[in-house]
Amino acid sequence: LPLPLTLGTITPQHLLANRNALLAGGIRPHLYCLPILKTEEDRRALLDALRTGCPRLFLGTDSAPHAIGRKETGCGCAGIFNANAALELYAEAFEEAGALEHLEAFCSLHGPAFYGVPANDEVVTLRRETWKMAHSLPLGNEEVVPFRAAQLINWRMDG
């Protein structure tokens, strides 16, 4: 029988954070997303899955740039903004998983192969360099808090 056409996209936040980050010491609205962050055991299972190089797992940032006022409210919007450093964040996760050799395929090849479209022929380069994520970023006349705000990131994209 043919294999089922089941796939999964994985966000950087689900690879790098667990629900304790969302709930420890109070609710942290900028870590609220759907599906909600899972247990550490679940996060580790996702890292284990990266090590397989499975072609049905691929990048899906689900990046959501909700302004601070829409997150820090009684009924805040679900979603985490990660687009400003998604590749760098994925590199951290793959490094933690010991699976850097699968990063390019996960980010660039598996998705297009599944959907039957050509892969992009442009190339980006990531280098191991520590830098600090901004506390917030402009969003029109407002601001958005990025994933890992004011924290150190261990990879940087050239250019």
pLDDT at position 4 is 64
User: Which sequence positions are flagged as catalytic?
Assistant: 62
Q: 89-115 pLDDT, tens per residue?
A: 999 999 999 999 999 999 999 999 999
143 strand-pairing partners? 138
Q: Which helix (H) or strand (E) holds 131?
A: strand 126-132
DSSP-assigned letters across all residues of 15-66: HH--HHHHHTTS--GGG--SSPP--HHHHHHHHHHHHHT-TTEEE---B---
**At residue 3, does pLDDT exceed 80?**
no
Q: Assign 148 a pLDDT band (cuts: 50, 70, 90).
A: very high
3-state SS of 105-116 is HHHHHHHHHHHC
Q: 111-124 pLDDT, tens per residue?
A: 999 999 999 999 99
